[in-house]
Amino acid sequence: MSSMLVLAIILVIGIVAFVIARQRAASHNDGKVKPHSRAHYHGWWAFLLGVLPAVLFLAVWSIGASVYLNSHLHSQMPADTGVASEPLAVSLTKSLANGLRKLDAQQVAALPATFAELQPLLNAKGVALATDTQDYMIPIAAEANRMTDRLGLMGAIATIALALAGAFYGISQVQPRARARNNVERLMLWGLLGASTIAILTTIGIVLSMLFQTLNFFNRVPPLQFFFGTVWDPRFAAAGAGASEGQFGLIPLLAGTLYIALVALLVAVPIGLMSAVYMAEYAAPKVRAAVKPALELLAGIPTIVYGIFALVTLGPFLRDLSAALAGGTSFIQAQSILTAGLVMGVMLIPVVSSLSDDIITAVPRAMRDGSLGLGATRSETIKRVILPAALPGIVGAILLTASRAIGETMIVVLAAGVAARLTLNPFEAMTTITVKIVNQLTGDLEFNSPQTLVAFALGITLFALTLVMNIVALYIVRKYREQYE
Amino acid sequence: MTDVTMDTVATATPPARRDIGLKRRYAAERRFRLYGVLAILVGLAFLVVMLLSILTKGYTSFWQTTVSLPITFDEKVIDPDNKRATDPNVLITANYPALAQKALAEKLGIDAKNKPMMTRLKGFLSDGSRVQLRDVVVSDPAVIGTTRNVDILVAANLDSAFKGQIDLSVPEDRRKVSDQQVEWMNKLKAEGAMAERFNTGLFTFGASSRPETSGLGVAIIGSFYMMVIVLLLALPIGVAASIYLEEFAKKSRFTDLIEVNINNLAAVPSIVFGLLGLAVFVNFLGMPRSASFVGGLVLTLMTLPTIIIATRAALAAVPPSIRSAALGLGASKMQMVFQHILPLAAPGILTGTIIGLARALGETAPLLLIGMVAFVANYPATPFDPATALPVQIYMWANEAERAFVERMSGAIIILLVFLMAMNITAIVLRRRFERRW
């Protein structure tokens, strides 16, 4: 019995329990005893008692069954598996078992002994299996299927029995003074708490998943070579060859990332800050109401669109422009640090301006009035009073922006190029950490090679880098906000 | 007394004003203002240039050149051995391009025996004619033996030439359409047979190696699945988490930890979520690669912080008097939240959710890592089938070399931006209509 069907049955039991319990509770309400909870709370309590334990049991049972089946399969494997490794043999057996599911009952009853005979049968059903599936796997797979069915049936019966028992217990609990509402609300509170821990689980998931793969990577490539290596040459062609595993130096990628982020900040910070200042201090309310949403449009455009603009329009334009300026040969490459940085900078303008807008408007009115009252012009007030007062907050905002720039992917994938080199010339191409993560993981590669694992090492570096910047920035911004509240 | 003072004031030379550099300072003031205006103008100018460049490159992709040809569904070509009653494959594998070819030759008045001319005719029509004619025949087998007008797609290069995107003044060997083809094209155009029609294929076709038969069908379905999954998962979980943090949690180290976590997750680069999805969902839990379900899960995790932050702001904006009133009338805390606070905060929550969804719709990087850069020609029937997403399809077309793909890509960007615009406008309208200021 499939677990979907079991779930549906449980749900039906729960709904029936809900209806009966509510009915009973309503009929108790005869005016003699004041009921503690309203009728539908009794219904919900019966529903939860019926459904929750059963679902939990089903989940535990399914996990337990698959673990048991796995260990059973491992124990059944002969000493000489005939394929590269034992885990591979187990997974072949599993896919064989899945394939056998497609056959008719009679075919399963009279399974051929060799895979050579079995394959045409399976192919007729549209099942394609690896050719190194071995003969001895056939009985094991058939036995595994029977075992899965048996375990599944046992689990389903136990689950449904549990649901029925819970529902009956819930219905029998219906009494005028029963505290059904409190029970339901306590469970709801647990549900709410559970939902809020998802954030923590995500962070743990991110860190653990990347940490495991990174340690795996460091087993093959020493950390020192990764963090301080100046050559990036992963050698796709030689993947798995052993002797020449390529070099994985982080330095050129990190340099490219920081260089492009720096160019982007050089564009975004002055423009963003000046527009924030103008909006907050000069613009008439009408202008502000029209221009602010327009600038925020820039923030709503997906980064892939910026990337494409850099690739298709700006890059070629700069190349041709430089060719015209230099008379023939172009000194700006179509994919260059300048192109990527410029476009990324524009993308970051609304980020800088909306963050600094909040910070500038948070500077107390009294400071502004004091300065103006002493005869300073508006720009002097801004330059000598407001900006110094807002400085910590603005630094925080710039840090947040920088972390966005470092983690930005699509613009650099399309506009920065893939050549990992160290250069100071902004007209040449350089590559970034994010570009290499995408490069390493979008090919057809075996998962356990250093060529793919390095992506996780790069990922965790990126994560750590942005995490530190974010925490510092959030800390500064919060500190600053407290100062004026 | 007054006279005297009046006198002295009138006669004494006015005291020289202390030079406080007013002129210089006002000039500085004007300059500063100008910088502000310039900064805003630069931002807006870039926005306009970018949108214009995409629009001018992309608007032509909504039209596709076709030739209206009287196709004779010749039984001798489609089913020479008359086996279609028993073998349905006959209708699928028949030589349909030959039918189109023949009809075109007749239209142009080329003798079918003129072999060199017939060879040059190849490459005028798109290979997509095979699928077009097959669909006509399979949906209505009675058409065999009759003649019917069908709009056949022309090849991508001729489409570009017809739209005037290929410079015909360069020498013949340096452009992709021959003089002969241009001559035919002009003839058909003069007869009114060749014309641009609305490009429905852009919205319905799947992946293809030929520009004229590739479209966004699979990507739109994939993106739709993902948006539904994000909505179904992120909205309830996000709202539940915010209610707990805003209404129930006491300040403790644990809730502080959760808050720091949420704020950080909101700023984690999106590609890191892709790595999480690849390592946990695909490799550890064994979910299928390229499936929109996995993409939906990854985008859910990415959108959650946005929704939580917006929802908490909306909840916090509901004034405490409402809480006190509900509690005072005997509601339990849970009843107070779900029956009073939540409905009042709903517009704010909805706005935040739509903005979060819009961000998720435009997100590309994490989807690349979980293998959604796939060549998917068939519609995904369930969220577990391989699919692509709108921005990923744009990325894939950006990597194609042919000119016609650039046109399609820009068209796809316009479609994506229209979707995003619609979502954002909905959010703004919702906020205007229902937001209450307390």
CA distance A110 to chain B (A): 31
Flag if A303 and B262 touch (Cβ within 8 Å): no
Partner A contacted by B331 (CB < 8 A): no
Q: Where in chain A is the domain with CATH 1.10.3720.10?
A: 247-483
CA distance A379 to chain B (A): 5
Contact A25, A43 (CB under 8 A): yes
Contact B175, B167 (CB under 8 A): yes
Amino acid letter, residue A54: A
Of residues A348 and B288, the one with the higher pLDDT is: A348
In chain B, the residue whose alpha carbon lies closest to the alpha carbon of A270 is B39
Res A1: pLDDT: 52
Closest by Cβ to B275, choosing from A198, A413, A456? A456
**Candidate from A178-192, B3-17, B47-61, B182-196 with smallest mean pLDDT:** B3-17
Q: What are phi and psi of B63, to 5 degrees?
A: -120, 145
A350: left (phi over 0), alpha (psi -120 to 50) or beta: alpha
Q: Which helix (DSSP H) or strand (DSSP E) does residue A248 occupy?
A: strand A247-248
CA distance A169 to chain B (A): 25
Q: Is the pLDDT of residue A241 over 50?
A: no
Closest by Cβ to A199, choosing from B32, B33, B258? B258
Task: State the average pLDDT over residues B237-246.
Answer: 94
Closest by Cβ to A271, choosing from B43, B257, B398? B43
How many Cα atoms occupy the beta-carbon half-sphere of A405 within 13 Å? Answer: 36
B46's tokens: 């870039």
Closest by Cβ to A302, choosing from B283, B301, B416? B416
Q: Is the pTM of this model over 0.95?
A: no
Task: State the average pLDDT over residues B47-61.
Answer: 91
Residues 37-76 on B with a CB inside 8 Å of A are 37-40, 42-44, 46-47, 50, 53-54, 57
Q: Is the pLDDT of residue B420 over 90?
A: yes
A103: left (phi over 0), alpha (psi -120 to 50) or beta: beta
CA distance B81 to chain A (A): 26
Roughly how many angstroms between the first and final C-alpha of chain B, as a whole number? Answer: 61
**Candidate from A239-243, A412-416, B116-120, B332-336 with smallest mean pLDDT:** A239-243
CA distance A109 to chain B (A): 30
CA-based nearest residue to A14, from A62, A41, A54, A61: A54
Task: State the average pLDDT over residues B91-101.
Answer: 81
C-alpha of A280 from chain center: 36
Partner A contacted by B415 (CB < 8 A): no
Neighbours of B173 (CB within 10 A): 6
Q: What are phi and psi of B72, to 5 degrees?
A: -95, 115
CA-based nearest residue to A396, from A346, A485, A469, A462: A469
Q: Is the pLDDT of residue A58 over 50?
A: yes
In chain A, the residue whose alpha carbon lies closest to the alpha carbon of B259 is A199
Flag if B43 and A349 touch (Cβ within 8 Å): yes
B248 contacts in A (CB within 8 Å)? 189, 192-193
Residue A240's pLDDT band (boundaries 50, 70, 90)?
Answer: very low
Q: Is the pLDDT of residue B1 over 50?
A: no
Res A242: pLDDT: 46
The rounded mean pLDDT for chain A is: 86
A294 contacts in B (CB within 8 Å)? 44, 47
Q: Is the pLDDT of residue B387 over 60?
A: yes
Partner A contacted by B358 (CB < 8 A): yes
Distances from the Cα of B271 to the Cαs of A205, A321, B70, B278, B369, in angstroms? 14, 33, 52, 11, 8
**pLDDT tens digits along A272-281:** 999 999 998 8
| 3-class DSSP assignment, residue A232 | strand
Task: State the average pLDDT over residues B162-184.
Answer: 82
Roughly how many angstroms between the first and final C-alpha of chain A, as a whole number? Answer: 62
A275 contacts in B (CB within 8 Å)? 36, 39-40, 43
Q: Does domain A247-483 have CATH number 2.60.120.860?
A: no
The rounded mean pLDDT for chain B is: 86
Flag if A438 and B368 touch (Cβ within 8 Å): yes
Spatial distance between the Cα atoms of A36 and A196, rounded to a whole number of angstroms: 30
**What structural domains and CATH numbers belong to chain B?**
61-199 (no CATH), 217-434 (1.10.3720.10)
Flag if A379 and B369 touch (Cβ within 8 Å): no
Q: Are strands B63-72 and B194-198 parallel, antiparallel or unpaired?
A: antiparallel
Of residues B306 and B112, the one with the higher pLDDT is: B306
How many Cα atoms occupy the beta-carbon half-sphere of A156 within 13 Å? Answer: 15
Spatial distance between the Cα atoms of B336 and A185, rounded to a whole number of angstroms: 12
Residue A238's pLDDT band (boundaries 50, 70, 90)?
Answer: very low
Of residues B82 and B152, the one with the higher pLDDT is: B152
Q: How many percent of chain A have pLDDT more than 90? A: 39
